[in-house]
A and B are shown apart, each in its own frame.
Chain A
Amino acid sequence: MPIRLLLSLALACAVGLAQAAGEPEFALTIRDHKFTPAEVRIPANTKVKLVVDNQDATPEEFDSHALNREKVIAGKSKATVFIGPLAPGRYSFMGEFHADTAQGIVVAQ
């Protein structure tokens, strides 16, 4: 019984990992500790890929409690953040290291 349970878990993991798909891609830039665009419109109920280009020399953390994401992006580098599928609505995010200026919102519609 325990062995079958472990094998089932392993199989579920393998199947899940094989389910990678091409998600719609959206670009987001960090410059002078601000997000551009500050509002990202994405299709509702669809998983999307945000490609975040940090053009500042310092690292930033894409942080969103609503989206359940925390991702550190080194200075002068890009990172991918997968979000969704989201119900229609507005989901705020910020750059945690410069929260006074780095604010944005994802609008799922």
Chain B
Amino acid sequence: MRTPAHVLAIVAAALPLLSLAPLAHADPDDYVAVPAVEYGEREIELRLGTASPTDDPHRQSAASLAFGYGVTPWWATEIYGKWHRSGATSFDAVEWENKFQLTEPGQYFADFGLLVETEFPHDHAEGYELRIGPLMQKDFGPVQANFNVFLERHYHASEPEVTELEYQWQLRYRWQPALDFGAQGFGEVGQWNDWAPARAQEHMAGPAIFGKFPLGGRQVLKYDAAVLFRLSDAAPARTFRAQVEYEF
């Protein structure tokens, strides 16, 4: 693949921007991204998540509806509308996600990709958010392992701008196309170069299921869902997250 070098050059140019955004809680409907791109595929995606209250008396819930397209064999783009509920439901943000497949699946010891997300919150006081990071995948026989690391920063926000470090992982045992099972985890450690004390970091993990139902022709329905349990005091006690994709 020739174009990933161009992608890396663009990212290298953008990285200083991240070193120039306050600790934020992960969206309960976040998902684990994988590095592969499916060329020519169009998808409508629905994500849902709900988390136990932490420092807010209300349960935090989120939903996203997106349209995505595999523009080239190495680039997929997706536009999200995001809603948030904490007491009342409100429109939260528009997000533009771009995924770049950097290596051909299975060619090297692991597969690599890059995710670049730009979020434009409805509340202008939050500025806008940039999230960028590598996507990594490795197969161990029937088990697929993913690990992603992201730098996230708000710009032009009313609060001090810091760059935070987040991670996500999953293990997926390929059992049946309609039902694979495994585990997922998400976490935030605080500022990327000055991690927060352990009690202030968010870490959560739990069991997950995955599956795919062919609907004929190019149409496929994919899903994954997880129940995440608190592994650190700052994380919600329980989070349920789910994602459904209709590909066509």
Query: Is B a genuine binding partner of A?
Result: yes
CB-based contact B41/A68 at 8 Å: no
Residues of A within 8 A of B109 (CB): 16, 19
Please report whether the interface of chain B is mostly helix, strand, loop or mixed according to DSSP: loop
Among A1-9, A24-32, A34-42, the stretch that binds chain B is A1-9
Residues of A within 8 A of B134 (CB): 9, 13
**Contact (A2, B106) CB under 8 Å given A13-B112, A65-B174:** no
Partner of B106, one of A6, A13, A66, A69: A69
CB-based contact A20/B38 at 8 Å: no
CB-based contact B106/A82 at 8 Å: yes
Interface size on A, residues (CB 8 A): 31
CB-based contact B108/A16 at 8 Å: yes
Is A90 interfacial (CB 8 A cutoff)?
Answer: no
Partner of B220, one of A17, A66, A83, A96: A96
Interface size on B, residues (CB 8 A): 37
Among B45-53, B124-132, B189-197, the stretch that binds chain A is B189-197
A65 to B134, CA, bound (A): 24
**Contact (A17, B112) CB under 8 Å given A9-B149, A82-B107:** yes
Q: Which of B163-197 contact A (CB under 8 A)?
A: 165, 174, 176-177, 189, 192-195
- Tell me the minimal C-beta distance from B215 to chain A in angstroms: 11
CB-based contact A72/B39 at 8 Å: yes
Is A105 interfacial (CB 8 A cutoff)?
Answer: no
CB-based contact B112/A80 at 8 Å: no
Residues of B within 8 A of A70 (CB): 36, 38
New A-B pairs, 16, CB < 8 Å, besides A82-B104, A83-B106, A99-B216: A2-B195, A9-B134, A13-B134, A16-B108, A16-B112, A17-B108, A17-B112, A19-B109, A20-B108, A65-B176, A68-B139, A74-B40, A81-B106, A82-B105, A87-B141, A97-B218
